[in-house]
Amino acid sequence: MTDWSAVPKAEIHLHLEGALESELLVELAQRNGVPLPSYDPAVLDARYRFGDLQDFLDVYFVNLAVMRTEQDFHDLAALYLRRAREAGVVRAESFFNPMVHVRAGVPLEAVMHGYAGAFADARRDGLSCALVLDFTRDLGAEAADEMLTAVAPYRDLIIGVGLDSTEIGYPPSLFRDVFARAAANGLHRTCHAGEEGDAEYVRQALDDLGVERVDHGLRAMEDPELVRRLADEQIAVNVCPLSNVALRAVDRMEVHPVFAMLEAGIRVTVSSDDPAYFGGQVDANFAALEQVGATEEQLAAIVANSFAAAWVDDAERAELEVRSAAPAG
């Protein structure tokens, strides 16, 4: 079996709020006087068994009540960025979602400065990294639009936008105007679609939001015409195998659609989604695919796709590819 932590890669589907490991969760709860059901990280981890996406989101949002100050956001991002480097990540494009925090009374400035400070530190240490603003789709398009306006003073700290949280009932088309405004501001676009929603959600992400990438995209495989289109247009589909099994979007790793996606010529990438909840960092996601029979060639293609799909300019992409081709060490 390959040591995936030694293979340089880009991780482009990762929620910083989903990197809140139980040890840090307990530390922040104690720091800020926020009650938890247990203060034993092992007990908290043992509760992470989910029936579906909503089941997970219910726990995830409750836990986020511990995040209060700029230092908290800095600590969370620094933890993720350290874990990512340990997992072989050389380019990190990370979702953050300020909506839950701001609604809990945290100043947007604390969120932005905390995350951006940790990202600046990592950049100084040689990691290529950037922040992607995610909107909570079940809060609706107006709230997303308000957040896009609110982050205007921090425009230089973000490179793109995405859409997360409860999928069914909140199709991408609802967010057409806010994504158009983001594009007009020079922001890249991606969207969670096809995790639980059907192929129509993925089609809308392409047609109505103009996304360059799709997060999860699993149910696109139910529509052969859409599969051809994803392949023809080389839209990156950012799958998260351990997440998909943990949230039962996929029955078993052996039948993960990633294999059919590769077969169809889709630009598949692999990321960890919410590593504190789903059992591992991006290296563990590669290992999980290898364990069920993904070939060396398939996994190498996924690594190459991660750089092809990254939101970097040609010069930086070339530099990342050279670094990844050099022997580890």
Is there binding between residue 72 and ligand HPA (CB under 6 A)?
no
Q: Is 188 annotated as a binding residue?
A: no
Binding-site residue total for Zn ion (CB under 5 A)? 1
How far, in Å, are 9, 73, 113, 127, 146 from residue 108 at the CA level?
A: 31, 11, 9, 25, 12
Is there binding between residue 165 and ligand HPA (CB under 6 A)?
yes
| Cβ atoms of 4 and 287 closer than 8 Å | yes
Give every CB contact of residue 64 below 8 A, 6+ residues apart in sequence: 17, 20, 100, 101, 104
What is the closest distance, in whole angstroms, from the C-beta atom of residue 121 to Zn ion in the complex?
A: 24
Cα distance between residue 17 and residue 63, in whole Å = 9
How far, in Å, are 10, 33, 41, 119, 124 from residue 27 at the CA level?
A: 29, 10, 10, 21, 27
| Cβ atoms of 14 and 272 closer than 8 Å | yes
Instruction: Please select the residue that binds ligand HPA; options are 72, 200, 212, 274, rule is CB under 6 A.
Output: 274
Phi first, then psi, for residue 198 (nearest 5°) are -80, -175
Q: Single out the catalytic residue among 17, 21, 167, 195.
A: 195
| Cβ atoms of 141 and 191 closer than 8 Å | no
Instruction: Please select the residue that binds ligand HPA; options are 18, 88, 98, 257, rule is CB under 6 A.
Output: 18
Measured from each CB, the residue nearest to Zn ion is: 273
- Quick one: what does residue 101 bind among ligand HPA, Zn ion, none, with the CB cut-off 5 to 8 Å set by partner type? none
Output the DSSP codes for 135-193. Answer: EEGGGHHHHHHHHHHHTGGGGGGEEEEEEES--TT--GGGGHHHHHHHHHTT-EEEEEE
Is there binding between residue 53 and ligand HPA (CB under 6 A)?
yes
Is there binding between residue 17 and Zn ion (CB under 5 A)?
no
Instruction: Please select the residue that binds Zn ion; options are 11, 21, 196, 273, rule is CB under 5 A.
Output: 273
Q: Is 15 annotated as a binding residue?
A: yes
Q: Taking CB under 6 A as the rule, which mask of x and - marks residues 145-164 in contact with ligand HPA?
A: -------------------x
Q: Which residues pair with 248 in a beta bridge?
A: none
Q: Which stretch binds Zn ion (CB under 5 A): 74-82, 118-126, 268-276, 285-293?
A: 268-276
Residues 178-237 close enough to bind ligand HPA by CB under 6 A: 192, 195
Token readout for 144 is 């997303």
Measured from each CB, the residue nearest to ligand HPA is: 164
Cα distance between residue 313 and residue 315, in whole Å = 6
What is the closest distance, in whole angstroms, from the C-beta atom of residue 294 to ligand HPA in the complex?
A: 21
Is there binding between residue 15 and ligand HPA (CB under 6 A)?
yes
Q: Which stretch binds Zn ion (CB under 5 A): 66-74, 109-117, 176-184, 269-277?
A: 269-277
What is the closest distance, in whole angstroms, from the C-beta atom of residue 165 to ligand HPA in the complex?
A: 5
Q: Is 273 annotated as a binding residue?
A: yes
- Quick one: what does residue 11 bind among ligand HPA, Zn ion, none, with the CB cut-off 5 to 8 Å set by partner type? none
Cα distance between residue 4 and residue 311, in whole Å = 23
| Cβ atoms of 89 and 11 closer than 8 Å | yes
- Quick one: what does residue 165 bind among Zn ion, ligand HPA, none, with the CB cut-off 5 to 8 Å set by partner type? ligand HPA
Is there binding between residue 70 and ligand HPA (CB under 6 A)?
no
CB-side exposure of 146: number of CA atoms within 13 Å?
Answer: 12
To the query of whether residue 212 is one of the catalytic residues in this protein, the response is no
Token readout for 7 is 């293979």
- Active site amino acids: 195
User: Interface with ligand HPA by CB under 6 A: which residues?
Assistant: 15, 18, 53, 164-165, 192, 195, 243, 273-274
Binding site for Zn ion (CB under 5 A): 273
Annotated binding site: 13, 15, 192, 273-274
